A and B are shown apart, each in its own frame.
Chain A
Amino acid sequence: MPKEFEPNIIGFLCNWCSYAGADLAGTSRIQYPPNLKAIRVMCSGRVNPIFVINALQQGADGVLIGGCHPGDCHYERGNYLARRRMAVLKNLLEYTGIDPRRVRMTWVSAAEGKKFAEVVREVTEDIRKLGPMQQFKRENKW
């Protein structure tokens, strides 16, 4: 029997909202799947699309980007810029045959521990259904 597929998800979470939201989920003991590996960034606007592409290359099956709700960005506009960027990137990925559901974005505030857990649950299940990322994963076959 092949081992059941466990998705590997990289989360780029903004320092001020989503990461704090994840923290709250933890301290409130809200259960959510352990598939998400969180990387704290100062702002969702810091997330360069190469981070996403590189994560998918290096073995991530999905990427979640978490930012503050519109209007709440600590740097005023970082999340708005990230939103534009990801809209373009998701379309580009879909166009080249990469399921855009592998790249997700969410607004989670520092108070939304519950929402964070829900989002992670949803994304994990979605990606579980999609199966492992195969198209342009690094093979490291030297």
Chain B
Amino acid sequence: MVDERQLRDTVKNTVSRDDVKYVVGYKNGTYGFQVTPAFAFSAEDADKFIFSPLCVNNLAVYPMLEEKLPLRKGEEEDTRKIGLVVKGCDSRAIVQIIQEKGLKREDVILIGIPCTGVIDPKKINAKFPHQTKTVDVKEDGEKFVIKVNGTTHKISRDELLFEKCKHCENPNPVICDILIGKEVKTSKKENYEDIKSLEKKSLEEKWEYWEKQFEKCIRCYACRDACPMCYCKECMVDQLSPQWIRRSVNLSENTAWNLMRAFHLAGRCIGCGECERACPMDIPLTKLNKKIEKDVKEMFDYAPGIDAEEKPLLAMFKPDDSEEFIL
């Protein structure tokens, strides 16, 4: 369990610093199991901050969403830092962005949370439908404790955990300035079971699977906008000349978009699963991202978002990289 009082105090101290613009964390949402990003501009804003297993959002996206509008006469650029509450995966996003020079380390203050896994909103909403009032979820060992309509339910973690959390190798922040509580120990190992079982299928079966998924896509690009790593100034899909991917929504363009989105995250995706969570059409996007993550690990012995000093995967090479496919 995260000590919320310590969290709030830390946020208060951080936001009170002169060199901090605001701190982003979590607060209760407007209904049911919703938790929503919260922005503290002053110490009292921190009072509503929480951390529970419902805090799924990857807040690393917010420093990348900062709008840099043209300065007016006499106006100076606001270079103050942004404070962020980060879990293990979120901190990896920040590391990766720093590695790519999208951010400088000193641009952010990271309040680290040792994370024991978060709940998949889809699973919990299916289990307890129609919750209009805000519901609290607590942890108790290997169970989640959920109080709904006066009754307390104890439910095993495995039943509600996000799939990505079940095999998370980095529950503790990879970098942070202040850690709330103690690091958690983990022996979890990513086994890529889902990926392997899909890999084993025939080409026809694989296409049949993905065709159905890509056909659903409505190309809202929520996957891109929710992703902390998708921070290009102009996304290639918004480009008009050359227009690589047409605007019309059909299987061909949808496939091109989904493949390119996945490829652009090769060696960069840190597996927070925000794309899939944001996707309104329930396309299993992490299955694409994880596949590349697995390949990259096997082929190049590389994992993104661990070391900010390392060079990005596709911007470097080893002379002896495998080339068995080359004629």
Q: Do chains A and B touch in the complex (CB under 8 A)?
A: yes
Partner of A92 from B256, B292, B315 at Cβ < 8 Å: B292
Q: Are B319 and A80 in contact (CB under 8 A)?
A: yes
Q: Are A89 and B263 in contact (CB under 8 A)?
A: yes
**Which of A5-13, A27-35, A130-138 is the interface stretch?**
A130-138
Which residues, 93 to 122 on A, are CB-close (under 8 Å) to B?
A: 93-100, 104-107, 119, 122
Report if B65 contacts A (CB, 8 A). Answer: no
Given contacts A107-B326, A135-B255, A139-B252, could you give 20 more A-B pairs where the C-beta distance is less than 8 Å?
A50-B245, A54-B245, A57-B253, A70-B319, A71-B319, A81-B315, A83-B326, A87-B321, A88-B263, A88-B267, A88-B296, A92-B291, A94-B203, A96-B207, A97-B204, A97-B208, A104-B325, A105-B327, A136-B252, A138-B252
Report if B3 contacts A (CB, 8 A). Answer: no
Give chain B's interface residues, CB within 8 Å of chain A: 198-199, 203-211, 214, 236, 244-245, 250-253, 255-256, 259-260, 262-263, 266-267, 288, 291-292, 295-296, 299-300, 313-315, 317, 319, 321-323, 325-327
Q: Are A98 and B321 in contact (CB under 8 A)?
A: no
Q: Are A92 and B263 in contact (CB under 8 A)?
A: yes
Least CB distance, B102 to chain A, in whole angstroms: 20
Residues of chain B within 8 A (CB-CB) of A128 are none
CA distance A95 to B6 in the complex (A): 46
Q: Are B207 and A92 in contact (CB under 8 A)?
A: no
CA distance A57 to B253 in the complex (A): 8
Partner of A87 from B207, B262, B322, B327 at Cβ < 8 Å: B322
Residues of chain B within 8 A (CB-CB) of A97 are 203-211
Chain A residue at minimal CB-CB distance from B287: A95
Known contacts A81-B315, A84-B313, A138-B252; is-contact A53 B260 (Cβ 8 Å): yes
Q: Can you show 9 pairs from A to B with CB atoms below 8 A apart?
A: A57-B256, A91-B295, A92-B292, A95-B288, A96-B207, A96-B255, A98-B203, A105-B326, A136-B252
Q: Count residues on chain A whose CB falls below 8 Å from chain B CBs.
A: 40
Residues of chain B within 8 A (CB-CB) of A80 are 317, 319, 321
Partner of A137 from B207, B252, B326, B327 at Cβ < 8 Å: B252
Report if A123 contacts B (CB, 8 A). Answer: yes
Residues of chain A within 8 A (CB-CB) of B266 are 88, 92
Partner of B199 from A77, A83, A87, A95 at Cβ < 8 Å: A95
Report if A85 contacts B (CB, 8 A). Answer: yes
Chain B residue at minimal CB-CB distance from A54: B244
Partner of B252 from A57, A83, A93 at Cβ < 8 Å: A57
Known contacts A84-B314, A135-B255; is-contact A123 B207 (Cβ 8 Å): no
Report if A90 contacts B (CB, 8 A). Answer: yes
Known contacts A70-B319, A81-B317, A97-B203; is-contact A88 B295 (Cβ 8 Å): yes
Chain A residue at minimal CB-CB distance from B246: A138
Least CB distance, B295 to chain A, in whole angstroms: 5
Report if A49 contacts B (CB, 8 A). Answer: yes
Q: Are A136 and B256 in contact (CB under 8 A)?
A: yes
Residues of chain B within 8 A (CB-CB) of A87 are 295, 299, 321-322, 325
Known contacts A81-B314, A87-B299, A135-B211; is-contact A95 B255 (Cβ 8 Å): no
Q: Are B317 and A84 in contact (CB under 8 A)?
A: yes
Least CB distance, B232 to chain A, in whole angstroms: 13
Residues of chain A within 8 A (CB-CB) of B322 are 87
Residues of chain B within 8 A (CB-CB) of A54 are 244-245, 256
Chain A residue at minimal CB-CB distance from B299: A87
CA distance A84 to B204 in the complex (A): 26
Residues of chain A within 8 A (CB-CB) of B255 are 96, 135-136
Chain B residue at minimal CB-CB distance from A81: B317
Chain B residue at minimal CB-CB distance from A94: B203
CA distance A92 to B261 in the complex (A): 12
Chain A residue at minimal CB-CB distance from B327: A106
Q: Are B319 and A53 in contact (CB under 8 A)?
A: no
CA distance A81 to B312 in the complex (A): 11
Known contacts A88-B263, A107-B326; is-contact A135 B207 (Cβ 8 Å): yes
CA distance A101 to B323 in the complex (A): 14
CA distance A139 to B252 in the complex (A): 8
Residues of chain A within 8 A (CB-CB) of B323 are 70, 83
List the 7 shortest-distance A-B pairs measured between CB atoms, nearest first: A97-B207, A97-B206, A80-B317, A136-B255, A106-B327, A96-B210, A138-B252
Least CB distance, A84 to chain B, in whole angstroms: 6
Residues of chain A within 8 A (CB-CB) of B315 are 81
